[in-house]
């Protein structure tokens, strides 16, 4: 049932794809702002540079947490692309996120602390919607296994459009894009220095960046599941969704954490529950 080859392919290839996506992201962002922008390979050079720097850790456990973050993020994606259980994938994703928070808490720095607290609030904000999306995929396809969902001929997006919209909303949080880049962001300046990554430097920061590449590829894979019945449509949807995220990132100011949490719960409660309730009323829970 679980395809080990896909897991290995993900672990080896996902950083290359994720880094390239990050580079293209920066290029498009620069063009949107009327700039030339860096090379699309800039993200790889950044990470290469970070590995050349001194690893100035503030305590013994900090680097270990950064490594755990990348290991569990790679595990999350590997389990997903191997066709594993979607609920287990989401639990592994949360565990990876918690290691980043622990790493930030392990340093005795107010900026790092506030970043860690905001990261926890972000986890609180997106988690209900992500789980509801998994439940929606189960109702629409009859399985929690990723390979069954991807192979299903059921027109998933037509059955759970509300859950898809809700997932898009929290995707902005997960990709650390404005308006929800409250714990840390890829943009230069913000009010809490660099949030969760403030106290990480050199190789530790490089591992966090690589985890983010893994995460991007995994999340885009999740978007694909909504269109799994037509692979071509799925790939187009993934590209359109990412371009939309870049557009949102460049046209929105950062919101407060209160608004981020309230609005994502509201979206999850309204479109998520209404969509699921409609499915039960129309089909009695068996599509």
Residues 193-232 as x/- pattern, contact with another protein by CB under 8 A = xx--xxxxxx--x---------------------------
Site for another protein contains 52 (CB under 8 A): yes
Stretch that binds another protein, among 52-60, 69-77, 120-128, 159-167 (CB under 8 A): 52-60
Q: d(Cα 132, Cα 134) in Å, to the nearest integer?
A: 5
Residue 179 Cβ, how far from another protein at the closest point, in Å? 20
Site for another protein contains 49 (CB under 8 A): yes
Question: Which of 8, 12, 48, 231 touches another protein (CB under 8 A)?
Answer: 48
- Residue 256's CB: how many other CB atoms inside 10 A? 10
Site for another protein contains 24 (CB under 8 A): no
- Whether the Cβ atoms of residue 3 and residue 82 lie closer than 8 Å to each other: yes
Site for another protein contains 161 (CB under 8 A): no
- Whether the Cβ atoms of residue 10 and residue 78 lie closer than 8 Å to each other: yes
Q: d(Cα 280, Cα 287) in Å, to the nearest integer?
A: 9
Across-strand partners of 85? 145
Residue 200 Cβ, how far from another protein at the closest point, in Å? 7
Q: Is 204 left (phi over 0), alpha (psi -120 to 50) or beta?
A: alpha
Paired tokens of 78: 């590997």
Site for another protein contains 1 (CB under 8 A): no
Point out which residues bind another protein (CB under 8 A).
26, 30, 33-39, 42, 45-46, 48-49, 51-56, 188-190, 193-194, 197-202, 205
């Amino acid at each position: 049932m679980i395809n080990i080859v896909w897991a290995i392919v993900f672990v080896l290839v996902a950083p290359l794809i994720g880094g390239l996506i990050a580079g293209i992201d920066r290029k498009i962002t620069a063009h949107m702002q009327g700039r030339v922008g860096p090379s699309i390979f800039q993200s790889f050079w950044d990470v290469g540079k970070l590995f050349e720097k001194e690893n100035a850790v503030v305590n013994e456990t900090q680097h270990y947490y950064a490594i755990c973050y990348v290991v569990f993020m790679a595990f999350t994606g590997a389990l997903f692309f191997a066709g594993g259980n979607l609920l287990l994938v989401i639990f592994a994703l949360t565990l990876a996120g918690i290691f980043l928070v622990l790493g930030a808490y392990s340093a005795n720095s107010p900026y790092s602390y506030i970043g860690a607290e905001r990261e926890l609030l972000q986890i609180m904000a997106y988690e209900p919607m992500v789980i509801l999306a998994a439940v929606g995929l189960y109702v629409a396809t009859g399985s929690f296994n990723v390979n069954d969902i991807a192979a299903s001929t059921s027109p998933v997006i037509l059955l759970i459009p509300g859950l898809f919209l809700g997932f898009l909303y929290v995707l902005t949080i997960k990709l650390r894009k404005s308006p929800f880049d409250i714990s840390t962001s890829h943009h230069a300046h913000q009010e809490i220095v660099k949030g969760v990554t403030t106290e990480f430097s050199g190789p530790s920061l490089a591992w966090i960046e690589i985890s983010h590449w893994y995460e991007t590829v995994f999340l885009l894979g999740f978007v694909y599941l909504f269109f799994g019945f037509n692979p071509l449509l799925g790939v187009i949807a993934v590209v359109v969704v990412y371009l939309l995220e870049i557009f949102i990132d460049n046209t929105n100011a950062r919101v407060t954490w209160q608004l981020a949490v309230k609005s994502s719960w509201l979206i999850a409660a309204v479109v998520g529950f209404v969509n699921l309730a409609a499915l039960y009323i129309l089909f009695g829970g068996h599509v």
